[in-house]
Amino acid sequence: MFSFTQEIAVDLGTANTIIISNDKVVVDEPSVVAISSSDNKMVAVGSKAQMMIGRGGSMIRTVRPLKDGVIADFYACEMMIRGMIQAIPKKNRLFTPSLRMVVCIPSGSTDVEIRAVRDSSEHAGGRDVYMIYEPMAAAIGLGIDVESPEGCMVVDIGGGTTEIAVISLGGIVANKSIKTAGDDFNADIVEYMGRMHNLKIDEPTAERIKIAVGSALPELDEPLDDYVVIGPNKVTALPMQVPVSYQEIAHCLDKSIVKVEQAIMQALDITPPELYADIVKRGIFLAGGGALLHGLAKRLTDKITIQFHVADDPLHAVSRGTGIALKNVHNLPFLIR
């Protein structure tokens, strides 16, 4: 018997978009869309579009529709969501099923931003659209019982925003959302390489440097090998090869990581004492791609003196939680219609 409704969970991230259907990750792609300059039609989406960044000239414009966790380009976002939904492997069907979607959004979203996500999702084919706050989805994805009276704190460091939330009894009791996250780490690296090495690099190169030698501490228990960066000299345009150490990257990321530390302290400052005691006992949970930064959990633990735990698969914690919420849309009061 065929179902006339297809259910999908969408982690609509600034850096990556993940779609889950039938408990499986069916799309895991960069949040990028390539659009033809001549007719404004989509040329590519995801990793194919990302490979076109800086390579398409005036014929193709590559767009990251989300900035700082919210939609910056409404049309491009709709095209990207539609393209990624079309990329979901299809069974043999004679009809197109209606879509029920659960989409995660930053906890600091305004009513206008929530409406923009709903409109983009509906224009991309969603007939029944629910939304869930990212830290709530991350907590569910981490296996935390969000409806218990015991408090827990989740720090979700994504591409555009860092979401910090204290959760208890199925609600967000205290939260802090700052626009300092993975994209800012990349921007720090681009600026540092230009200033210290006269090397001109772009964002994809900075992302590779961050993954290879990104560190929150200048001294790691397991040191990382240097990463060789190739690019043009800013002054002469001649090719350069520069080895970059994790100590350098720890130094250049320090300013942004301090902002994350301050935001966590501000969230703890407005946390009710009873829940604060729960958090001290349970520790604080790190999710999102930024949680993979080497030495981050140790640095935060030493600074705040509460144990920080990195999720087993921090990149997919939010999407896992969104997928679980999808199966319980009628039983979760914290979902937004």
CATH number at residue 206: 3.90.640.10
CB 129 within 8 A of CB 270: no
Residue at a domain's end among 215, 234, 252:
252
Rounded distance between C-alpha atoms, residue 152 and residue 275, angstroms: 7
In this structure, the answer to whether residues 286 and 195 fall within a common structural domain is no
Strand partners, 171: 168
In this structure, the answer to whether residues 130 and 204 fall within a common structural domain is no
In this structure, the answer to whether residues 127 and 161 fall within a common structural domain is no
Q: What is the CATH number of the domain that holds 294?
A: 3.30.420.40
Q: Is there a domain that residue 217 lies in?
A: yes
In this structure, the answer to whether residues 128 and 56 fall within a common structural domain is yes
In our burial notation (b when 16+ CB lie closer than 10 A, e otherwise), range 168-203 reads: beeebebbbbbbbbbbbbbebbbebbeeebebbbee
Q: Is there a domain that residue 111 lies in?
A: yes
Rounded distance between C-alpha atoms, residue 337 and residue 334, angstroms: 10
- Name the residue among 109, 111, 113, 85 with its Cα closest to residue 98: 85
Q: What is the pLDDT of residue 172?
A: 92
In our burial notation (b when 16+ CB lie closer than 10 A, e otherwise), range 282-293 reads: bebbbbbbbbbb
Q: What is the pLDDT along the chain (337 residues), one digit of tens a residue?
A: 445 678 899 998 888 999 998 888 899 999 999 998 888 888 999 999 988 877 766 788 889 998 877 888 888 988 998 888 888 877 655 456 678 889 998 887 888 888 888 888 888 888 889 999 999 999 999 999 999 999 999 999 998 899 999 999 989 999 999 999 999 999 999 999 999 999 999 988 999 999 999 999 999 999 999 999 999 999 999 999 999 999 999 999 999 999 999 999 999 999 999 999 999 999 999 999 999 999 999 999 999 999 999 988 898 999 999 999 988 888 888 888 8
Q: Is there a domain that residue 142 lies in?
A: no
In this structure, the answer to whether residues 168 and 265 fall within a common structural domain is yes
In this structure, the answer to whether residues 225 and 322 fall within a common structural domain is no
Q: What is the pTM of this model?
A: 0.88
Order of strands, edge to edge, in the sheet holding 98-105?
24-30, 16-21, 5-12, 98-105, 126-133
Residue at a domain's end among 252, 282, 305:
252
In this structure, the answer to whether residues 176 and 131 fall within a common structural domain is no
Helical H segments across 171-215, by residue range: 182-197, 203-213
Q: Is there a domain that residue 19 lies in?
A: yes
In this structure, the answer to whether residues 21 and 110 fall within a common structural domain is yes
In this structure, the answer to whether residues 133 and 265 fall within a common structural domain is no
Q: What is the pLDDT of residue 292?
A: 94
Which residues, at least 6 apart from 115, have a Cβ–Cβ distance to it below 8 Å?
none
In this structure, the answer to whether residues 18 and 127 fall within a common structural domain is yes
In this structure, the answer to whether residues 128 and 163 fall within a common structural domain is no
Q: Is there a domain that residue 336 lies in?
A: no
Which residues, at least 6 apart from 90, have a Cβ–Cβ distance to it below 8 Å?
none
Q: How many domains does the chain have?
A: 3
CB 283 within 8 A of CB 307: yes
Residue at a domain's end among 212, 231, 252:
252
In this structure, the answer to whether residues 222 and 313 fall within a common structural domain is no
Q: Is there a domain that residue 335 lies in?
A: no
Quickly count helices (H) and strands (E) in the chain.
10, 17
Query: By residue range, what is the domain housing residue 18?
Result: 5-137+318-326
Q: Is there a domain that residue 97 lies in?
A: yes
Strand partners, 33: 45, 63
Rounded distance between C-alpha atoms, residue 69 and residue 13, angstroms: 7
Give the H or E element holding residue 155: strand 152-157
Residues in the chain: 337
CB 19 within 8 A of CB 84: yes
